[in-house]
Chain A
Amino acid sequence: MTEKERLLKALLGESIDRTPVICPGGMMTMANREIMIRTNCRWPAVHRDAKKMAALSIAMHEETGIENLGIPFCMTVEAEALGGEVEDGDEITTPSIVNYPLKSVRHWRDLKELNPYKDGRLPTILECMGILNQKVPDVPVPGNLVGPLSLATSLIDATILFKALRREPEDVHGLLRFLTDNSIRYGEALIKSGADLIVISDPSATGEILGPELFEEFVLPYLNMMIGRMHMLGKPVIVHICGNVSSIYKPLNELDSECISVDSVVNMKEVRHAIPGKKLMGNVSTLLLQNGRENNIRKVSKTLLNFGVDILAPACGLSAKTPVRHIKAMTEAAKGV
C-alpha cells in the first residue's frame, strides 16, 4: 500500500494496514532547519522558489518519515495574492502579513478577483505541486487552503473584522462570499496541478474566539461551500481548527469534510463522542515535539494510535527548530518501528 493510497483510504474509511502519519503543510508547517541546512534549501528564499520548495519538502518526507509532502510553509499565499503585504521572515520564522489591504470591511469590493496562474506566489505553489507529482507520485500532496474567515483576518485587522461580525454583518458576508469564491478558484487550480486532497486551515475560526452562534453564521456555510466544490472534483477534505472547539461541537457536526484536525488543547475522546461522524486527525503537541523527550513523544503518539485516531499528526505547524529525531519519534510510532 503506498502512502497516498493509505491516506486516501483512511479518509474514506476503507480498510488500511495501519494509521498514516502526516503534517499537511500550509498553516501546519512541515519544515525543519536541520534539513534546510543539509539541502541548502533555506527559508526565506525557499518561499518564492518552486524547485527549492519541492526539494525541501521531498527531503522532509525522506528524513522525518512524515507521509506526505507539505507545501507551502506558511499561510500567506492567498492573502498576498489578494493584495496583502508579506514579510518573508527568516530562517526559522514563517512569512507573515505586515500590511492589510483593507481598512474596513465594506471596502471588500475593492479587492481584485484572484488569478491563481498569475497572482503573487500562487503560480510558484502550482509549479511546485507539478514537480512533486512528477518526482514522487506515490506520496500524497495536500492542496492547502486558508478558510475564508482566517483569510479575512489576513486582509483586515482582526479587531475590526470581529467587531464587524456584529456591527456590519452584511458586508462581512459579502467579503466572506468573495473570499470563498476566490479560494475555490485557487483550490481548483491546486487540484488541476495534482493535489490529492484538500486541507483547509481555519485557525481564527475557533470556538474560543467566536462562540457557537457566530461560528454557525460566519464560518460553517462558507467552509461547506468550499468543501462541496472540492468534493465535486473528487477530493476528500480535512479541516483544521485551532484552539478549544468544545463550544462549537454542535455546528462541527454539520461540517461536510471527511476529517477534522484539532489542536493539542482538545481531548480526542471528547471530540469523538461529540462529533461521531468524522475522521479525526491530530494532535501531538508541537511544543512537545520541539522541546519534549523522544520517549514522551513516542508515548503520546502511541496513546493516540491506541485510542484510534484516524490520522496521526502534529496539533499545529511544526516549529522549524524541532529536531528531526523528535519528528521521527512520532512517525516511527505510527509505523510500528
Chain B
Amino acid sequence: MQAEKQDILNRLAQAVINMDITRANEAAAEVIRCKIDPYEAIMDGLAKGMDKVNELFENEEYFVPEILLCADAMYAGIEVLRPYLPKEGTWNKKKVVIGVVKGDTHDIGKNLVKIMLDNAGFEMHDLGRNVPYAKFIDTAGELKADLVCLSTLMTTTMDGMQVIIEDLKKAGITSRVMVGGGPISPGFAKNIGADGYAKNAAEAVRVAKSLFQDVHLPLTFKTPEFVSVRKNHGGVR
C-alpha cells in the first residue's frame, strides 16, 4: 500500500516534469481511487514535480515554454483533486494580488511568478497586465491582501511602482509589496519602498515566504523576464 502510494506520488511528479496532462489526470484519478489524501498528493506529488521543474529551469535545461506546459499538467492534476480537498478557508492561505503595471503589456514573467506562488500555497488574485494604479490599491484594500506583487518589463513604466506603493500607504493598506521585472534592480526596489524584490519566479517564492517569516533573505530573485535584472551598467566586465 505504502509502495503503491509512493508510486502514484512519483507518477504525479513525473507527469508534471514531462508536461503530460493526460498522465497527470490519470495519476490524480488513482489518488482518489486509492483514497490517498489529496492535499498530500498535491504537495508531495504535483508540487514536488514543479520544484524539480524549477530546478531544471535554473539550470537552463528548461525554458519558459516548458515551464508553462509543466504548470498546465500540474493544474490539470489539481483540478481532478480539487473536489476532494478540504474547503479553501481551512488552509489559511496568504492572499496575493499580482499584476503588470499600467503602460506595460508583457506578462510572461508575471504569469510565471503567479504559477510558482500558487504552487507554493499562496492564494493568487491576478489583475492581468496593463493594470491601472488604482486597481492595485482597490483590490488590495478589498481583499485585505497580505502581499501585492508588481511587475514591469519596461523602464518607461517602472516609476508607476513607486506611485502605487505611496498610494497604498496613503490608503492605510498594510500589504507588503514585492516588485520585479526586467529593468528593476534591488536598489530601485529599496528606494521606492518595496518590501521585497524578486529576480525570477523561483526566487519570488523564497522572497514571498521570507516576507511572512521573520527571516530576511538577501534581496535577490530570478523569472525569465525577471532574469534580466540589470546587475551591471552594461558594457564590458
Seen from chain A, the residues whose Cβ lies within 8 Å of a Cβ on chain B are: 29, 87, 89-90, 92-94, 96-98, 158-159, 162-163, 165-167, 206, 208-211, 214, 242-244, 247, 263-265, 267-269, 282-288, 290, 292, 296, 300, 303-304, 307, 315-317, 319-321
Contacts and interface: CB of A to CB of B under 8 A. Distances in A.
Contacts of B60: 211, 247
Given A159-B108, A163-B65, 10 more contacts: A93-B103, A93-B156, A97-B105, A162-B68, A163-B68, A206-B228, A208-B228, A307-B235, A315-B234, A316-B155
Given A98-B130, A214-B63, A243-B227, A285 B233 contact: yes
A214 B157 CA distance: 29
A34 B66 CA distance: 44
B65 A286 contact: no
A29 B155 CA distance: 11
A210 B63 contact: yes
Interface of B: 19, 60, 62-66, 68-69, 72, 102-108, 111, 130, 154-157, 159, 182-183, 185, 188, 224-225, 227-237
Contact of A209 (B63, B185, B235, B237): B63
A167 B20 CA distance: 11
Contacts of A321: 156, 159
A287 B155 contact: yes
B228 A244 contact: yes
Contacts of A243: 182, 224-225, 227-228
Nearest to B223: A208
Contacts of B69: 163, 166-167
Nearest to A29: B156
B154 to A, nearest CB: 8
B155 A96 contact: no
Contacts, number: 135
B65 A265 contact: no
Contact of B227 (A92, A208, A287, A303): A208
B234 A290 contact: no
B159 A265 contact: no
A244 B227 contact: yes
Given A163-B69, A267-B236, A287-B155, A208 B104 contact: no
B237 A208 contact: no
B65 A166 contact: yes
Contacts of A89: 103
A16 to B, nearest CB: 20
B235 A158 contact: no
Contact of B237 (A93, A269, A282, A284): A269
Nearest to A304: B235
B137 to A, nearest CB: 19
A209 B234 contact: no
B153 to A, nearest CB: 8
B19 A166 contact: yes
A90 B157 CA distance: 11
B107 A265 contact: no
A315 B157 CA distance: 17
A158 B112 CA distance: 12
Contacts of A93: 102-103, 156-157
Nearest to A296: B233
B118 to A, nearest CB: 14
Nearest to A308: B236
A195 B228 CA distance: 31
B111 A159 contact: yes
Contacts of A285: 230, 232-235
A284 B130 contact: no
Nearest to A313: B234
A78 B229 CA distance: 28
B236 A269 contact: yes
Contacts of A307: 235-236
The 4 closest A-B pairs by CB, nearest first: A264-B234, A211-B63, A93-B103, A285-B234
A300 B237 contact: no
Contact of B155 (A97, A209, A268, A290): A290
A96 B105 contact: yes
19 contacts: A87-B130, A93-B102, A93-B103, A163-B68, A166-B19, A208-B63, A209-B224, A209-B225, A211-B62, A214-B63, A243-B182, A263-B228, A264-B235, A265-B231, A284-B233, A285-B230, A287-B188, A304-B235, A316-B155
